[in-house]
Amino acid sequence: MSSRHSLSSSRNQTARRLISLHGGFFCNMPTKAVILHLESVVKPDYFGYLWLYAQDMFEFCRNFVRVLFEITLYPHY
């Protein structure tokens, strides 16, 4: 029981570390998806992390470009 608890707390710490690293930078970070993904695997699945990171980067870049266009088109806001 204690080894299972320590594994779970280790995964929670990893999830918190991931979220604290990227959560402040990406406003659209799917933190729930990251936590569910971490809880569903025993061994870290780095390709899954990279896929989530790539999706977040795409969303961030898309939103960043949209904001730049809005600032350029409507400078009075």
Which is more confident, 68 or 14?
68
pLDDT for 18-63, tens place per residue? Answer: 555 544 444 455 666 666 666 665 456 677 788 888 888 898 999 8
Question: What's the pLDDT score for residue 32?
Answer: 66
Which is more confident, 69 or 44?
69
Rounded CA separation 2/26 (Å): 35
Question: What's the pLDDT score for residue 34?
Answer: 65
Question: What's the pLDDT score for residue 53?
Answer: 86
Whether pLDDT at 8 is above 50:
yes
Where along the chain do its domains lie?
Answer: 2-73
String of DSSP letters for 12-59: HHHHHHHHHHHTTT-TT--HHHHHHHHHH-SS--HHHHHHHHHHHHHH
